[in-house]
């Protein structure tokens, strides 16, 4: 029997990202307010900064801006992680990067599921920061055994989702009707449940061990805990949040404000306190929050080392976790230390600090095949025959992620774990290696160079 045409994984991801956003807006009205604020700010920035508008036009980011968002979930078992990997694969999302949050006192390690090719990212840049709880960090053996049993009992995927994942794997994709059903079924895994699977005393015990442990173990599924739109000016949004009844965290995570943004800047507002029906009593739990982010250029290993060095120096000098009381000093220290990071794209490129994409210009195309066409990339750039644009950072930052976790779990959640990072253990649970994000940036950059050579010199 001929099978109906398959829907591309990119289309499924795009549909899923929209469905998730609609679900979350219904569940958390402040998310809707934040989206409106971000859209308003982005329009204003594009109107007032024609150079930025042109840059985003050239890279294609302007078309993906409105649909750009990331979410986060926290899982409890290897089975859950491996299966979510298969679920995300149906929508063309691969595990990129390994993040260990334990040095920052959060008992998880994580990856980000996302599209990997620039064309797929252009179709839908949706990503999900996915953490696996490290149960081995629960010191009390009885509590650990209880957590393991509770997690073993739950089924976070619907039978329909599991069947469609298998179907997609066996047939190399889904047809339109199955893809629509897959989106509906997959969404159920991320839904909020106002009922817990444990008693209120058990919840308290888990929560006393770590708030995050309760958030994973006491519930039926890994509710999406935030969904983050991308803004073009995070300082403007941060300043406008209180006027919309939203209280942001004290400091913006990531690099300070710059002319040429690097990596990722993020801010969030506190988790909501929500009513929960425990198996024996009413209570409450806070897990879901709001976040916004501004993305800048991806850094090379050399650029990243400089970023880490300057960030650590500023934090060491502050001598404490950034908080409400030291926020102004933190901002000042960050600005001071980051003076050592070049703030023009030309300097960053010359010094090998960041990744870029290269685009042939009209002038370059007109000079194709003529004697005056320069023969090297640098020559083409100097002649204005190739335009250089920053390659946007698509990933996350462990120190920032820890700051986001902490601010939403409360200061009481700070623990000290003397364990080693364990990427091998994480990948064993996942059932496959994670992808090195730096290799992806390198490949995208190289493809753009090849395309220029092809278009201008071949």
Contact status, residue 163 vs residue 106, Cβ threshold 8 Å = no
Nearer to Ni ion, 164 or 404 (CB): 404
Closest approach, Cβ 394 to ligand OOG, in A, equals 12
Which listed option, ligand OOG, Ni ion, none, makes contact with residue 448 (CB within 5 to 8 Å by class)? Answer: none
DSSP H or E stretch at residue 9: helix 9-27
Nearest distance in Å: CB 233, ligand OOG:
18
Which residues have CB under 8 Å from 439's CB, separation 6+? none
Which residues have a Cβ under 8 Å from the Cβ of 305 and sit 6 or more positions away? none
Closest CB to ligand OOG among 179 and 404? Answer: 404
Give the helix/strand (H/E) hosting 290.
Answer: strand 290-295
CB of 51 to ligand OOG, least distance (A): 28
| Residue (74 or 357) nearer to ligand OOG, CB | 74
**What does 307 bind: ligand OOG, Ni ion, none (CB cut-off 5 to 8 Å by kind)?**
none
Strand partners, 267: 292
CA-to-CA dists, residue 137 to 94, 201, 401, 410, angstroms? 27, 21, 19, 19
Q: Pinpoint the alpha helices (H) of 49-77.
A: 50-59, 61-64
CB neighbour burial string for 402-411, b if at least 16 within 10 angstroms, e if fewer: bbbbbbbbee
Please report how close the Cβ of residue 404 comes to Ni ion at its closest, in angstroms: 6
Least spacing, CB of residue 70 vs Ni ion, in Å: 6
Instruction: Write out the two tokens for 192.
Output: 């909020």
When the beta carbons of 16 and 99 are compared against ligand OOG, the nearer one is 99
- Selection from Ni ion, ligand OOG, none that 74 binds (CB < 5 to 8 A by kind) is ligand OOG
441 binds, among ligand OOG, Ni ion, none (CB under 5 to 8 A by kind): none
* Residue 401 partner contact from Ni ion, ligand OOG, none using kind-dependent CB cut-offs of 5 to 8 Å: ligand OOG
Tell me how far apart the alpha carbons of residues 230 and 251 are, in angstroms, rounded to a whole number.
Answer: 17
Element (H, E) at 37: helix 29-48
- Closest to ligand OOG by CB, 164 or 271: 271
Closest to 100 in 3D by CA, of 397, 390, 368, 306: 397
Shortest distance, position 50 Cβ to ligand OOG, whole Å: 30
* Sites of contact with ligand OOG (CB under 6 A): 72, 74, 129, 131, 225, 266, 291, 396, 400-401, 404-405
Instruction: Report the distance separating Cα 262 and Cα 242, nearest Å.
Output: 26
Which positions lie near Ni ion, rule CB under 5 A?
228, 291
Q: Give the nearer residue to ligand OOG in terms of CB position, either 68 or 389.
A: 68
User: Is the CB of residue 269 less than 8 Å from the CB of residue 188?
Assistant: no
Query: Residue 72 Cβ, how far from ligand OOG at the closest point, in Å?
Result: 4
CB nearer to ligand OOG: pick between 115 and 401: 401
């Amino acid at each position: 029997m001929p099978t109906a045409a398959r829907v591309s994984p990119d289309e499924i991801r795009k549909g899923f990202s929209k469905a998730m956003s609609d679900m979350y807006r219904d569940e958390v009205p402040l998310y809707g307010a934040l989206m409106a604020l971000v859209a308003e700010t982005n329009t204003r920035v594009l109107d007032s900064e024609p150079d930025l508008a042109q840059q985003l036009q050239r890279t294609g980011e302007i078309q993906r801006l409105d649909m750009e968002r990331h979410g986060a979930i926290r899982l409890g078992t290897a089975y859950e992680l491996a299966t979510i990997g298969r679920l995300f694969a149906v929508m063309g999302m691969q595990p990129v990067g390994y993040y260990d949050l334990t040095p920052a006192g959060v008992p998880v390690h994580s990856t980000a599921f996302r599209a990997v090719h620039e064309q797929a990212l252009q179709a839908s840049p949706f990503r999900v920061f996915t953490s696996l709880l490290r149960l081995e960090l629960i010191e009390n053996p009885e509590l650990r055994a209880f957590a393991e049993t509770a997690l073993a009992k739950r089924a976070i995927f619907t039978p329909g989702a599991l069947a469609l994942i298998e179907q997609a794997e066996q047939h190399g994709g889904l047809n339109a009707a199955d893809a629509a059903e897959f989106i509906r079924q997959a969404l159920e895994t991320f839904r909020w449940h106002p009922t817990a699977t444990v008693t209120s005393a058990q919840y308290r015990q888990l929560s006393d061990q770590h708030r995050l442990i309760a958030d994973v173990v006491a519930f039926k599924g890994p509710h999406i805990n935030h969904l983050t739109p991308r803004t073009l000016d995070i300082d403007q949004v941060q300043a406008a949040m209180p006027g919309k009844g939203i209280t942001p965290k004290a400091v913006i995570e990531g690099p300070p404000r710059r002319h040429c943004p690097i990596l990722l800047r993020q801010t969030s507002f506190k988790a909501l306190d929500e009513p929960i029906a425990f198996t024996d009593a009413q209570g409450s739990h806070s897990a879901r929050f709001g976040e916004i982010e501004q993305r800048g250029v991806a850094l090379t290993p050399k650029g990243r080392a400089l970023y880490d060095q300057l960030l650590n120096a500023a934090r060491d000098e502050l001598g404490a976790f950034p908080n409400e009381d030291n926020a102004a000093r933190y901002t000042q220290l960050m600005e001071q230390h980051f003076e050592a990071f070049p703030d023009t794209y030309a300097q960053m490129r010359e010094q090998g600090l960041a990744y870029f994409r290269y685009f042939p210009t009209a002038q370059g195309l007109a000079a194709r095949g003529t004697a005056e066409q320069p023969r090297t990339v640098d020559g083409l750039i100097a002649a204005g025959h190739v335009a250089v644009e920053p390659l946007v950072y698509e990933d996350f930052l462990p120190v920032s992620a820890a700051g986001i976790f902490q601010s939403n779990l409360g200061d009481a959640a700070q623990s000290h774990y003397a364990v080693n990072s364990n990427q091998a253990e994480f990948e064993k649970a996942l059932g496959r290696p994670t992808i090195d994000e730096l290799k992806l940036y390198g490949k995208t950059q190289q493809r753009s160079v090849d395309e220029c050579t092809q278009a201008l010199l071949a």
